Amino acid sequence: MIYEQVVEEEMAIMEAELDEPSKALSRHETQVPLSSLMHPPLMVEMGKSTQEATDLMIANDVGAVLVVSDRVLKGIFGERDVLLKILNKPVGDLTQIPVDRFMKENPQTSHVDDTLDSAILHMARGGYRHIPIVDDQNRPVGLVSIRHIISHLVEHFPQEVLTLPPKPIREAMKAREGA
């Protein structure tokens, strides 16, 4: 009985917190240049095998490689391409199929002077997890991933991110579960 009372009180507090306005990042906090978030890009030349591109991603623990021709960006090949276009499909021998077949051509790009808010906007609108950073000749100079953005936010706002209370979003979560 006491346990149920404590749970009810906690639920009431959490529901009240749901009604509070959420904190917003200030303009200053979202105007971070992408040059401070980007990492060196991994690149493969057009015509290289899909297996080589996949092996490169695995070996470097990254979610995407940029596909280039003479250092100019032509496409991006990522883990979702593997999952959605290759796995459980009769595509053939990946050592013989060029990565060009599965890459996303002409991906959304940004420049080093673009800001965090623009990258977040591109990612949200396009459903992207990676944004290539290119120079004026469309040559890759970096890559920003959603992982880089989340790491940046946690690093700069640890109190806000790491101390968030749990917020149930379904009625079913109020019911006790488990053994």
Q: What is the pLDDT of residues 129-175, one digit of tens each?
A: 999 999 999 999 999 999 988 888 887 776 666 666 666 555 444 55
56 class by beta-carbon count within 10 Å (0-12 exposed, 13-18 middle, 19+ buried): middle
8 occurs within a structural domain: no
User: Which CATH number characterizes residue 39's domain?
Assistant: 3.10.580.10
Strand blocks (E) in the chain: 43-45, 64-69, 72-78, 104-105, 130-134, 140-145
Angle at 160 between CA 157 and CA 164, to 5 degrees: 145
Identify the pLDDT of residue 172: 47
Question: Can you tell me the mean pLDDT for 15-24?
Answer: 60
User: Number of folded domains in the chain?
Assistant: 1
103 occurs within a structural domain: yes
The single-letter DSSP state of residue 32 is -
Print the domain residue range for 83: 34-165
- Residue 65: both structure tokens together: 């490689």
Q: Tell if the pTM clears 0.75, that is, is over it.
A: no
132 occurs within a structural domain: yes
